[in-house]
């Protein structure tokens, strides 16, 4: 493994998405989960649309890319952006899309890769899940190499009845056509001190990201960071192994993946970050004398 360089990590936001609480918590009874997240009158709860900005010498890395702004988005996601989009948040931190050198995708669900492409205005693109040609869409990060697991791309480009409303070919096919896509087969080092690990369950090709020797801006912390993506959507799901979403395509595999990486996080003292938790942004996982795990929030 290449020797790591100190990384500065910033949490970015594409706003938040309102989603069904039952979908988020799966088989967990409503009276239990609503103590943690109170739903609105439509049974919806907010989920942050979180990305990471990793700055290393000579590298600007974005991890996950929100929902985007393609026509028809509101048919699939209810997105609220009081402070603007992911691109606005990047700009607030002094980063233009052209400066991004690498994009890591934990998976290819539409709320994690929507900002990979945008309509060019030159073709006949009419909206999500409609016929398109590669000329209708252009990469948002034109100078970046994009990294995703091979099996995730295969699943995204051949969706089934369950997954076709969350995998949208227009988010990834134009990246492949531009020659900017790197397919991974398992764990990989992306940059010094930045690596992906295979964490299937939520999707077949899900991966998470470890950043060593890192400083997290806000909340402020330093150490090894572990970005879950949707290995666990919110922190309580990483602590409580049986709690998985109704959206996980391989729920028992999710539990196995969480068991492995929860133990690793406890052993290493890594700072854990989820993709969607609106309340607990970062935490260390500890185990009490009785063997029960809990999250100690980093503030």
What are the residues whose beta carbons fall under 8 Å from the beta carbon of 187, sequence distance 6 or more?
195, 196, 197, 198
Token pair for residue 210? 């470890």
Token pair for residue 266? 């406890």
- Determine the Cα–Cα distance for residues 156 and 169; give it in Å rounded to an integer: 7
Average pLDDT over residues 20-26: 96
* CB contact at 8 A, 59 and 100: no
Nearest residue to 86 via CA among 44, 114, 57, 109: 114
pLDDT at 4: 64
Q: What is the pLDDT of residues 282-294, one digit of tens each?
A: 999 999 999 999 9
- Determine the Cα–Cα distance for residues 87 and 92; give it in Å rounded to an integer: 9
Beta pairing partners, 103: 62, 146
Nearest residue to 95 via CA among 137, 52, 159, 150: 52
Dmax over CA atoms of the chain, in Å, equals: 62
Count Cβ atoms below 10 Å from residue 262 Cβ, excluding itself. Answer: 20
Average pLDDT over residues 94-104: 98
Residue 1 in this model has a pLDDT that exceeds 70: no
The mean pLDDT value of the chain amounts to 96
pLDDT at 266: 98
pLDDT at 3: 64
pLDDT at 182: 98
Nearest residue to 76 via CA among 23, 17, 133, 150: 17
Q: What is the pLDDT of residues 218-271, one digit of tens each?
A: 999 999 999 999 999 999 999 999 999 999 999 999 999 999 999 999 999 999
Q: H-type helices in the chain, by residue range?
A: 21-25, 30-33, 86-92, 110-113, 150-157, 173-177, 235-239, 251-268
- Determine the Cα–Cα distance for residues 149 and 247; give it in Å rounded to an integer: 19
Average pLDDT over residues 22-43: 95
Q: Domain extents for the chain? A: 7-297
- Record the pTM: 0.96
Confidence class for position 123, pLDDT limits 50, 70, 90: confident
> Which percentage of the chain shows pLDDT scores above 90?
95
pLDDT at 270: 98
Average pLDDT over residues 128-140: 91
pLDDT at 282: 97
pLDDT at 134: 78
Q: Tell which phi-psi region holds residue 105, choosing left (phi > 0), alpha (psi between -120 and 50) or beta.
A: beta
pLDDT at 2: 60
Q: What is the pLDDT of residues 144-188, one digit of tens each?
A: 999 999 999 999 999 999 999 999 999 999 999 999 999 999 999
Confidence class for position 127, pLDDT limits 50, 70, 90: very high
Average pLDDT over residues 36-56: 97
Residue 128 in this model has a pLDDT that exceeds 60: yes
pLDDT at 5: 76
Torsional sign, CA 155, 157, 162, 163: positive
Nearest residue to 225 via CA among 274, 156, 176: 274
* CB contact at 8 A, 64 and 113: yes
State how far the alpha carbon of 48 is from the alpha carbons of 78, 79, 154, 276, in Å: 12, 10, 27, 4
Architecture of the CATH domain 7-297: 4-Layer Sandwich (3.60)
């Amino acid at each position: 493994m290449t020797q790591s360089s100190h990384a500065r990590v910033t949490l970015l936001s594409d706003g938040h998405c309102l989603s069904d609480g039952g979908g988020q918590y799966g088989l967990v009874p409503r009276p239990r989960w609503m103590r943690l997240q109170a739903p609105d009158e439509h049974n919806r709860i907010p989920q942050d649309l979180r990305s990471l900005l990793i700055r290393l010498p000579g590298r600007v890395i974005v991890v996950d890319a929100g929902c985007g702004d393609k026509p028809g988005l509101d048919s699939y996601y209810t997105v609220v952006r009081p402070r603007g989009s992911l691109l606005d948040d990047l700009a607030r931190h002094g980063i233009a899309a052209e400066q991004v050198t690498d994009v890591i995708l934990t998976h290819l669900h539409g709320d994690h890769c929507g900002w990979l492409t945008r309509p060019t205005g030159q073709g006949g693109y009419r909206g999500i899940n409609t016929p398109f040609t590669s000329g209708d869409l252009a990469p948002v990060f034109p100078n970046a190499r994009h990294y995703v697991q091979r099996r995730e791309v295969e699943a995204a480009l051949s969706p089934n009845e369950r997954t076709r409303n969350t995998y949208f070919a227009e988010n990834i096919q134009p990246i492949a056509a531009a020659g900017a896509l790197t397919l991974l087969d398992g764990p990989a080092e992306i940059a010094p001190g930045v690596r992906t690990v295979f964490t299937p369950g939520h999707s077949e090709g899900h991966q998470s990201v470890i950043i060593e020797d890192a400083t997290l801006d806000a909340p402020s912390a330093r150490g090894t960071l572990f970005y879950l993506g949707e290995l666990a959507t919110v922190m309580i799901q990483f602590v409580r192994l049986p709690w998985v979403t109704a959206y996980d395509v391989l729920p028992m595999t999710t539990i196995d993946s969480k068991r492995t990486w929860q133990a690793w996080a406890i052993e290493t003292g890594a700072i854990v970050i989820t993709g969607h938790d609106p309340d607990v942004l970062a935490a260390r996982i500890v185990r009490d004398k009785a063997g029960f795990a809990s999250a100690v929030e980093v503030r």
